[in-house]
């Protein structure tokens, strides 16, 4: 049995299946609840950005993940 640990909340993910119950983004592994929280944090910021720029989005997403890793959870951006 494989076990993976979420880089943000440090919870163990039993029987990890990529893009189903964990998500690998850049060099970080996120559990499904943390991925959902990431999307909730990013959604209002992304909707206000016109025109959309993918490089900006990638940088925003990674900055948000790195801040969450330090804090141990996602907060409001």
Q: What is the pLDDT of residues 50-72, one digit of tens each?
A: 898 999 999 999 999 999 999 99
16 belongs to a structural domain:
yes
pTM summary value: 0.86
32 belongs to a structural domain:
yes
76 belongs to a structural domain:
no
**Angstrom distance (rounded) from CA 13 to CA 77:** 26
22 belongs to a structural domain:
yes
77 belongs to a structural domain:
no
Full domain range(s) for residue 27: 3-71
Q: How far is CA 62 from the centre of its chain?
A: 8
Q: What is the pLDDT of residue 76?
A: 58
User: What is the tally of structural domains in the chain?
Assistant: 1
């Amino acid at each position: 049995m494989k076990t993976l640990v979420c880089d943000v909340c440090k919870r163990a993910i039993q029987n990890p299946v990529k893009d189903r119950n964990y998500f690998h983004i850049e060099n970080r592994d996120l559990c499904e609840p943390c991925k959902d929280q990431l999307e909730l944090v990013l959604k209002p910021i992304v909707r206000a950005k016109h025109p959309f720029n993918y490089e900006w989005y990638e940088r925003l997403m990674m900055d948000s993940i790195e801040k969450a890793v330090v804090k141990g959870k996602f907060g409001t951006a």
